[in-house]
Structure 1
Amino acid sequence: MKRRASEPAPAVPGCAECARLRNEKRAAQEEHDHSRALDCRILLGRHRRDVHGVAR
């Protein structure tokens, strides 16, 4: 059984850093770089929490 990591909420509209992290995650997934994709999900979650005050 394949397990998928939970996805963070979408990028905050108009935020360049959110968009950059989402694009980086997508690119990593396309390249099957699961470690980098996970790093991007974590960084996006932290960014959303710290900068936008949005929990997951």
Structure 2
Amino acid sequence: MGRDFDQALAKTDLLILDDWGHRSSATSSGATSCLEIVEDRYEKRSTIVTSLSSTGTT
């Protein structure tokens, strides 16, 4: 992601990261970039992280 995009995400009042755990093929640099965005937002803006997890039941 570009730095301008990262800064725009950091300034968004509410950021929703949907299906966070679903991206098992995420790159290390992508994961680092996402972590930096969350860290930039810490105690400044609202962030919701959702993840679908299999419970083994149907």
- TM normalised by structure 1 equals 0.40
Q: Which has the higher contact order (CA 8 A, sep 6+)?
A: 2
Q: Give the helix-richer structure, 1 or 2.
A: 1
Structure 2-normalised TM-score? Answer: 0.39
The structure that is strand-richer by fraction is 2
The structure with the larger Rg is 2
